[in-house]
A and B are shown apart, each in its own frame.
Chain A
Amino acid sequence: MKNLSTIDLERLEKLSRISCSSEEEEDILQSLQKVIEYMELLQEVDTEGDSPTSHVLGPLMQNILRKDVEEKSLSREEFFENVPDVVAGMVKVPPVLKGEE
């Protein structure tokens, strides 16, 4: 069994690019702890020699390649309709490099 200290919430926030508000933190940490403890249940299953499943269709599914021909796709105008901040036909974001403004 893991204890509370083994979940490093700050690290998870960083990895998942989510800041939690201070009122959420305690609840999220406790929920994660509870669920992860429950997941320990799987350790009692013997999976020695078993292979992992990443999709369920087995032989029904094969790699599919499409022909290399151009097709109509989303237009620029349609794409930009949902972009939060646009300048001169480009997606505007805040400074990426330090020291710029």
Chain B
Amino acid sequence: MDLHLHSAYELHHLFLSGKVSAEEIATHFLQRIEKLDPQLQSFLTVFPEKTLEKAKNLDQRRKKGEPLGKMAAVPVAIKDNMHIKGEITTCASKFLQNYRAPFSATAVRLMEEEDAFVIGKTNLDEFAMGSSNENSAFFSSKNPWDLSCSPGGSSGGSAAAVGGRLSLLATGSDTGGSIRQPASLCGVYGFKPTYGRVSRYGLVAFGSSLDQIGPIGTSCLDCAMMMETIGAFCKRDATSLNLPQESYLEDLPKDLKGKVIGVPWNFLELLGENELKRFKETIEKFKSLGATIEEVDLRLLKYSIAVYYILATAEASTNLARFDGIRFGQRSKEAKNLQEVYDLSRKEGFGREVKKRIMLGTYVLSSGFKHAYYQKAQKVRTLIIQAFEKAFESCDFIAIPTTVKSAFTLSSIADPLEMYLQDIFTISANLAGLPALSMPCGFDEENRPLGVQLLGPQLHDVQVLQNGYAFENAYPEFRKVSPLFSKEAL
């Protein structure tokens, strides 16, 4: 069977029409995980019993002609920083390795209500802090295109699982590129919605003014399908947008006629010669689909990394203060007094990158430095938002690469700053709260996938995904599955 070569969207319709049973789908993907995940190491937990039980229930309901959810029989993997009631949420941290979630994240609950198969939980950089998956306290996931390469991060497990077609959809969370960068490196589609579009309730917080949950899928349609379900107002998230759910899958455009795409050429100097050439080829493809290309000035984005690592670590240092060893998670057995419960539990429970970021955030917020760093960064953030507003006066979307290069070899980046600079093209969408899609747009000399981003103004989530689909539909060769994982038989 070649069920994994379909998109989630197609598979859902095959199930609805009775061509494939839910049990066949569930079994197929559970077997793929069992056989192939030892290489990819994308999952931290798998739920075979629950998935099969749900599948049988769905098959019965379909036979009886009962109503079925919008995501019925679609396998979805959940990044392990989102809660599923009764299951462990580790955040890939030793601190939470035994933490059992007492409630479900809103995004998870909504997908379960629409009959998706929540098939397992995926690996990540500890507390979503990292761009390579190497900061997981357990193991690093691998890239389905080259097992010696990183799948990217922090949602590396989710992107690897979808890239290897062990699941057709997965959730990611994106604070500075954590959905889009791994999606790009693994040759799949990743979408970060407008800030506030998807509820953060039940997502373990990293940088609260930046965090957003979104889909990683095998097509823009897969991402759209998940967005129709999870892009909903939630009273348990104070920054949830109180707007009606939107339809993504109607009136899909076939081309980009009449659309103006802005390109910030003066911000692309970081690209190597080859990468720039390939990006220009992608822009030509947008043109051939009818889009007009307009130059926009986003030179200010060169400050986005500095702004981000001040604001995100400041927010993380306060968010992670809750991990005190008292009420849940790691508590040091060595602690003899209350102070030591805090100091030693955090020492034992957190990995090095998490410690660095908490201390960096503490530094930029500490007295004497707050004005020079934190407040300065907040002001530059204002200027970056204004630069985007101005750019969108003359275009509908902005196109930039997702990453500077394709997937890198695991443990090849040792310098922390070099690792942080991996996110140079993704961070600004978080700083401005914009919807941003990363989609495959070709391969480099080593046959590793490359990605391009389409950014839209706030609330233009539907337009970004739909116009992304026009590109995807015109260039189906970029949706190719890695030859290591495309085989029909296991």
* A residues in contact (CB < 8 Å) with B: 7, 9, 11-13, 15-21, 24, 27-28, 31-32, 34-36, 38-39, 41-43, 45, 47, 50-57, 60-61, 64, 66, 74, 78-79, 81-85, 91, 93-96
Contacts and interface: CB of A to CB of B under 8 A. Distances in A.
Given A42-B376, A94-B335, A95-B338, A61 B239 contact: yes
Contact of B362 (A16, A24, A34, A61): A16
A41 B352 CA distance: 25
Interface string B369-411: 0001101111111110100000000000000000000000000
A24 B348 CA distance: 12
Nearest to B343: A19
Contact of A38 (B306, B355, B358, B372): B306
Given A45-B300, A79-B327, 16 more contacts: A12-B366, A13-B359, A18-B350, A18-B358, A20-B347, A24-B355, A32-B359, A36-B360, A38-B309, A42-B377, A45-B376, A45-B383, A64-B238, A81-B102, A82-B327, A96-B338
A86 to B, nearest CB: 10
Given A17-B346, A53-B378, A95-B338, A32 B383 contact: no
Nearest to B315: A54
B355 A43 contact: no
A56 B380 CA distance: 13
Contact of A35 (B346, B376, B417): B417
23 contacts: A12-B359, A12-B362, A13-B343, A18-B347, A19-B343, A19-B347, A31-B356, A32-B359, A34-B416, A35-B360, A42-B307, A47-B380, A56-B433, A57-B239, A79-B102, A81-B102, A82-B328, A82-B329, A83-B327, A84-B329, A91-B326, A93-B341, A94-B341
A64 B362 CA distance: 30
A57 to B, nearest CB: 6
B363 A32 contact: yes
B100 A47 contact: no
A19 B344 contact: yes
A11 B344 CA distance: 16
Contacts of B358: 16, 18
B380 A38 contact: no
B324 interface: yes
A18 B187 CA distance: 38
Contact of B376 (A47, A56, A81, A94): A47
Contact of B417 (A9, A34, A82, A85): A34
B338 A91 contact: no
B452 interface: no
Contact of B346 (A18, A53, A81, A82): A18
A17 B338 contact: no
A31 B241 CA distance: 37
B347 A94 contact: no
Nearest to A100: B337
A31 B61 CA distance: 56
A72 to B, nearest CB: 11
A66 B356 contact: no
B231 to A, nearest CB: 14
A56 B458 CA distance: 9
Most central of A51, A66, A81 by chain B CB within 10 Å: A81
B366 A42 contact: no
Given A18-B343, A27-B352, A50-B379, A56 B209 contact: yes
A84 B331 contact: yes
B382 A74 contact: no
Nearest to B242: A64
B49 to A, nearest CB: 21
B310 A24 contact: no
Contacts of A18: 343, 346-347, 350, 355, 358-359
Nearest to B302: A41
B355 A55 contact: no
Interface string B318-335: 000100111111110001
Nearest to B321: A17
Most central of A35, A55, A74 by chain B CB within 10 Å: A35
